[in-house]
Amino acid sequence: MKYVLYVIIALMSVQTIEAQNAFETEKKSDSIVDENYREDQFYLSVTYNLLGKKLDGVSQSGFSSGFHFGFIRDMPINTKRNIAVGVGLGLSTNSYNQTLLISEDNGVTSYTILDDDTTFSKNKFTTYLLEMPIEFRWRTSTSTDYDFWRIYTGIKLGYVVYNSSKFDGSPNDIKLSNIDDFNKLQYGLTLSAGYSNVSFHFYYALNSIFDSNAKLSTTNQSIDMNVVKIGLIFYIL
Q: What single letter denotes the amino acid at residue 148?
A: F
pTM of the model: 0.82
pLDDT band per the 50, 70, 90 thresholds, residue 116: confident
Instruction: Count Cα atoms within 13 angstroms, Cβ side, for 12.
Output: 6
The CA distance from 89 to 117, in Å, is: 44
> At CA 99, angle to CA 116 and CA 208, rounded to 5?
150
Look at residue 44 and tell me whether its pLDDT is greater than 60: yes
28 and 63 assigned to the same domain: no
Q: What average pLDDT does this structure show over 215-232?
A: 94
Q: How many domains does the chain have?
A: 2
Look at residue 129 and tell me whether its pLDDT is greater than 90: yes
CB 44 within 8 A of CB 232: no
Highest mean pLDDT among 73-82, 110-119, 156-165: 156-165
28 and 38 assigned to the same domain: no
63 and 15 assigned to the same domain: no
Look at residue 31 and tell me whether its pLDDT is greater than 90: no
Q: What average pLDDT does this structure show over 197-224?
A: 94
The CA distance from 137 to 153, in Å, is: 7
Q: Does residue 4 sit in helix, strand or coil?
A: helix
